[in-house]
């Protein structure tokens, strides 16, 4: 056989190989960020397997992920302004751009056609075509000449994005129904909003405030009513401690009756009545909460903590509002993610170099997966949830 | 006129910066850090832990490459015209009104000193 025919037949084999590989869906797949090495692991939540490592994603400290509505593509938002679209079936980068100097997170629109990124430098939001990653809109954020870092960017029904301005204390709604974004601004919402969330029904947007006690609430069914302050007295009588890691609100914890939120600078989880947004109680916990996340059925809330008490996870039973278990998944627990119906939770421990999978009924470890400084964990079921 | 003042002020900053750089005490420290094998009472393991803390935990606000995030950038080119004393005080006491917390309950004076020197000489992951 001549060399050319040999190469040709090899080429044919390699072209056909992917087609012969098992056809599969992506509903039980996810992505785990390896923050220090600029890589991600594509994981299988049924088999507890690492399927493929994808490298070359830049600075992934504080990286987050959203999914295309077909659950095939993961959009990874890097700290260095990198936006990478990854084909998780093929296990490779589909497209990658550097869209700013410094960014913090992103969201995908209701129709799945737009991906928005919130930027620190230059402060604002950029909106891209989710297919091509071409720029659709650039929304500089700030008051006059003063640009502001943007935090807490989420998607909302009606093809809208909602976000908060850290430096100038505002909430903005960007309606993307038409070609040009239509902006609604809410000023003086409180000092230093550090993150935001939207309730699972897409109705309420809540921004957490670092500069003062309380949170800012916007009812998106009635945007004309403006932003209301809630829980402004939650810290009364207790001293605020220094914060060695900012809490996160993304990954809301809502049950039928209550919303669970991290207190800033206090070893407490705040419990709020969802009907009137009044403070119900505060649950004393191991440290300052970072993520407070409800199991999809709402019966449990899992909490991880800020440096230096970050080797621990606590589980709250939402009926008696009591801690039922304290777990030690390893040093520097950074994130948790439930499988779509909540029978497992995956917990990343950065310094321990592993992700631990717990059975949420028995609270026992069912698998341990070694990874390089793992941080955020994102399963494809996020594709179909408002605000994730 | 304004321009001239700006240039005078920036020159003053430059001179102060140089003075700090060429202060014999700091120069000596720089040598220790640059060679990294000079005797220092911080063990090699502790220094590795501190470097990790700097990149990972300080990095959660200042960026893992220390190019900035919610907190400002801490790269040598940004720090060169800021005094080491100001940076030391900021790490030790925190900065009220901002999320920067005081580290004095977690780190010793000597450890903070090592962190400051490491920041000024630049640190790579």
Nearest CA in chain A to B65: A59
Identify the pLDDT of residue B31. Answer: 38
| Percentage of residues in chain B having pLDDT higher than 90 | 51
Contact between A200 and A387 (Cβ < 8 Å): yes
pLDDT at B12 over 50: no
CB contacts, 8 Å: B52 with chain A = 351
Identify the pLDDT of residue A212. Answer: 86
Q: Tell whether B39 is within 8 A of chain A (Cβ).
A: no
Q: Tell whether B106 is within 8 A of chain A (Cβ).
A: yes
Q: CB-CB: which of B55, B59, B99 is closest to A243?
A: B99
Mean pLDDT of B20-48: 54
pLDDT at B2 over 60: no
Q: Tell whether A118 is covered by a domain.
A: yes
Q: Do A350 and B64 touch (CB under 8 A)?
A: no
Q: Do B69 and A79 touch (CB under 8 A)?
A: yes
For residue B98, the distance in angstroms to the closest alpha carbon of chain A comes to 8
Tokens 């003063």, residue located = A146
| Biggest distance spanned by C-alpha atoms of chain B | 54
Nearest CA in chain B to A242: B101
Looking at this predicted complex, what is its ipTM? 0.79
Tokens 């230093």, residue located = A192
Q: Tell whether A9 is covered by a domain.
A: no
DSSP class per residue in A207-270 = EEESSSSSEEEEETT-GGG-EEEE-TTTTTTSPPPP-SS----SS--B-SSEEEEEPTTSSEEE
* Main-chain dihedrals φ then ψ at residue A234, nearest 5 degrees: -65, -25
Please give the tally of structural domains in chain A. 1
Closest CA to B54 of B33, B40, B38, B81: B33
Which structural domains are found in chain B, ordered by start? 2-121 (1.10.760.10)
Q: Tell whether A297 is covered by a domain.
A: no
pLDDT at B63 over 90: no
Q: Tell whether A14 is covered by a domain.
A: no
Number of other residues whose CB lies within 10 A of the CB of residue A99: 19
Mean pLDDT of B68-86: 93
Q: Sorting pLDDT into bands at 50, 70 and 90, what band is B40? A: low
Identify the pLDDT of residue A5. Answer: 58
Q: Do A35 and B64 touch (CB under 8 A)?
A: yes
Identify the pLDDT of residue A254. Answer: 86
Taking the C-alpha atoms of residue A124 and residue A117, their distance in angstroms, rounded to an integer, is: 8
Contact between A155 and A115 (Cβ < 8 Å): no
Nearest CA in chain B to A62: B60
Identify the pLDDT of residue A220. Answer: 97
Nearest CA in chain A to B101: A242
Identify the pLDDT of residue A251. Answer: 63
Q: CB-CB: which of A62, A307, A350 is closest to B69?
A: A62
| Best to test chain A binding among B90, B97, B99 (most A CBs inside 10 Å) | B99
Q: Tell whether A267 is covered by a domain.
A: no
Identify the pLDDT of residue A215. Answer: 92
Tokens 């709250």, residue located = A316
Low-confidence ranges of chain A (pLDDT < 70): 1-21, 235-238, 251-252
Q: Which domain holds residue A162?
A: 104-244
| Percentage of residues in chain B having pLDDT higher than 70 | 67
Nearest CA in chain B to A195: B70
Q: Tell whether A280 is covered by a domain.
A: no
Q: CB-CB: which of A59, A151, A245 is closest to B64?
A: A59
CATH code for the domain in which residue A218 is found: 2.130.10.10
DSSP class per residue in A140-158 = E-EETTEE--EEEEEEETT
Q: Tell whether A238 is covered by a domain.
A: yes
Mean pLDDT of B29-56: 71
Identify the pLDDT of residue A82. Answer: 94
Q: Tell whether B24 is within 8 A of chain A (Cβ).
A: no
Q: Tell whether A136 is covered by a domain.
A: yes
CB contacts, 8 Å: B101 with chain A = 242-244
CB contacts, 8 Å: A210 with chain B = 99
pLDDT at B113 over 50: yes
pLDDT at B80 over 80: yes
| Best to test chain A binding among B51, B52, B53, B57 (most A CBs inside 10 Å) | B57
For residue B28, the distance in angstroms to the closest alpha carbon of chain A comes to 32
Contact between A82 and A128 (Cβ < 8 Å): no
Q: Do A102 and B67 touch (CB under 8 A)?
A: yes
Helix (H, G, I), strand (E, B) or coil at A113: coil
Helices (H), B23-83: 24-35, 44-52, 59-62, 76-79
């Amino acid at each position: 056989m001549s060399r050319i025919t040999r190469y040709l037949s090899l080429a044919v084999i390699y072209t056909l190989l992917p087609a012969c590989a098992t056809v599969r869906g992506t509903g039980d797949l996810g992505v785990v960020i390896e923050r220090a090495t600029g890589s991600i692991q594509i994981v299988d939540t049924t088999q507890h397997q690492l399927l493929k490592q994808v490298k070359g994603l830049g600075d992934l400290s504080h990286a987050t992920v959203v999914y295309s509505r077909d659950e095939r593509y993961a959009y990874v938002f890097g700290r260095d302004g990198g936006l990478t679209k990854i084909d998780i079936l093929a296990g490779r980068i589909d497209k990658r751009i550097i869209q700013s100097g410094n960014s913090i997170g992103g969201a995908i629109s209701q129709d799945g056609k737009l991906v928005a990124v919130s930027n620190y430098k230059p402060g604002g939001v950029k909106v891209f075509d989710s297919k091509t990653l071409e720029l659709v809109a650039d929304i500089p954020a700030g008051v006059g000449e003063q640009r502001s870092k943007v935090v807490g960017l989420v998607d909302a029904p009606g093809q809208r994005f909602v976000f908060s301005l850290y430096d100038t204390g505002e909430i903005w709604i960007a309606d993307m129904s038409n070609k040009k974004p239509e902006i609604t601004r809410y000023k003086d919402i409180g000092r230093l909003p550090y993150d935001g969330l939207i309730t699972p029904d897409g109705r309420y947007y809540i921004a957490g405030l670092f500069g003062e006690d309380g949170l800012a609430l916007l009812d998106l069914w009635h945007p004309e009513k403006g932003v209301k302050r809630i829980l402004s007295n939650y810290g009364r009588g207790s001293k605020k401690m220094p914060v060695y890691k900012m809490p996160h609100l993304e990954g809301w914890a809502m049950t039928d009756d209550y919303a669970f939120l991290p207190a800033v600078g206090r070893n407490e989880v705040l419990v709020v009545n969802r009907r009137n947004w009044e403070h119900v109680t505060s649950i004393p916990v191991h440290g300052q909460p970072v993520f407070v996340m409800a199991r999809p059925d709402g019966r449990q809330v899992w909490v991880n903590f800020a440096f230096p008490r970050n080797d621990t996870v606590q589980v709250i039973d939402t009926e008696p509002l009591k801690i039922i278990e304290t777990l030690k998944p390893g040093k520097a627990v950074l994130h948790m993610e439930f499988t779509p119906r909540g029978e497992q939770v995956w917990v990343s421990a950065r310094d321990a170099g592993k992700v631990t999978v717990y059975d949420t009924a028995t609270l026992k470890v069912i698998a341990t997966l070694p990874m390089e400084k793992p941080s955020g964990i994102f399963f494809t079921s996020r594709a179909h949830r408002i605000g994730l | 006129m304004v321009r001239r003042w700006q240039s005078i002020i920036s020159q003053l900053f430059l001179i102060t910066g140089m003075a700090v750089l060429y202060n014999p005490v700091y120069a000596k420290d720089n040598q220790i850090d640059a060679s990294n094998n000079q005797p220092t009472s911080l063990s090699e393991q502790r220094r590795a832990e501190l470097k990790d803390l700097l990149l990972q935990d300080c990095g959660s606000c200042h960026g893992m490459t220390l190019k900035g995030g919610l907190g400002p950038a801490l790269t040598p080119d940004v720090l060169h015209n800021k005094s080491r004393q100001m940076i030391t005080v900021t790490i030790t006491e925190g900065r009220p009104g901002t999320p920067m917390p005081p580290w004095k309950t977690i780190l010793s004076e000597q450890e903070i000193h090592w962190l400051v020197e490491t920041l000024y000489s630049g640190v790579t992951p």
